[in-house]
Structure 1
Amino acid sequence: MPRIMIKGGVWRNTEDEILKAAVMKYGKNSWSRIASLLHRKSAKQCKARWFEWLDPSIKKTEWSREEDEKLLHLAKLMPTQWRTIAPIIGRTAAQCLERYEYLLDQAQKKEEGDDMDDPRKLKPGEIDPNPETKPARPDPKDMDEDELEMLSEARARLANTQGKKAKRKAREKQLEEARRLAALQKRRELRAAGIAVQQKNKRKRGINYNTEIPFEKKPALGFYDTSNEEIDPHAADFSQLKKNQQNQLSRQEKEEIERKKDKQKLKQRKENDMPANMMNNEPARKRSKLVLPEPQISDKELQQVVKLGRASEAAREIALEGGIHTTDSLLADYSLTPNTSVTPRTPAAVDRVLQEAQNVMALTHVDTPLKGGINTELTNADFSSIVPTSKVLATPNTVLSTPFRSQRVDGSPAPFNTPGSVAGSVTGSVVGQTPLRDRLSINPEEALDPSETPIIQKQAKDQLRVKFDSLPAPKNDFEIVIPEEEINEGDDANTAMEIVEDQADIDAKKQQAILEQQKLELAKRSQVIQRNLPRPLEVNLNILRPSNDVSNLTDQQKAEELIKREMVKMMCYDILKNPQPHINPKRAQTALNQASNYLERHPYEEFEEEEMESAKEILKNEMQVVKEGMDHGELSIDAYSTVWEECSAQVFKKN
Structure 2
Amino acid sequence: MVRIQQRGGTWSNVEDEVLKAAVMKYGHNQWARVASLMNRKSPKQCKAQFTRDEDEKLLHLAKLYPCQWRTIAPLVGRTAAQCMERYERLLDDAQRELAADGDAPAMSSEEARRLRPGEIDVLPETRPARPDPVDMAPEELEMLSEARARLANTRGKKAKRKAREAQLDEARRLASLQKRRELKAAGIHVARFSGSRRSRGGSTLDYDAEVPFQKVAPRGFYDTSEEKRADADLKRAREDADFEAIRLERLEAERRDTAEARAARDDKRKRAKLMETNLPEAVAQVSRLTDPAAKLRRSELALPAPQVSDAELAELGRLGGADAATGDATDDLVDRAGVDRLLSESRSARTPAVARADDLVVQEAKNAAVDRSLQTPLLGEDQAPRLDGTGYAAAAPRKPGGAPTETPLSSALRKTPNALGLNDDDAASAFSGAASERRPTRLDVRRGLESLPAPKYAYDIEQPANPPEEEPPQPAIVVDAAELDAARQAAAEAETRARLARRSSAVRAQLPRPRLVSDDLRPLGESEAALLVRDEMAKLLRRDAVDHPVKGAPRAIDENFDDDDDDDDFFGDEELDRARDLVIREAGLLEIDDDAFESQWRATFEDTVFFPNGLGWGKISDGPADIAFRADFDASRAQMTKGATRAARIEERLEPKLDSYVARAKQLRDDISRVTSRLDKAALEAACYDRLRRVELLALPNRLAAAKARLAQATRREKHLQTEYSALRRKRGDQ
TM (norm. structure 1) is 0.30
- The two structures have a TM-score, normalised by structure 2, of 0.27
- Asked which structure has the greater CA Rg, the reply is 2
Q: Which has the higher helix share?
A: 2
Q: Which has the higher contact order (CA 8 A, sep 6+)?
A: 1
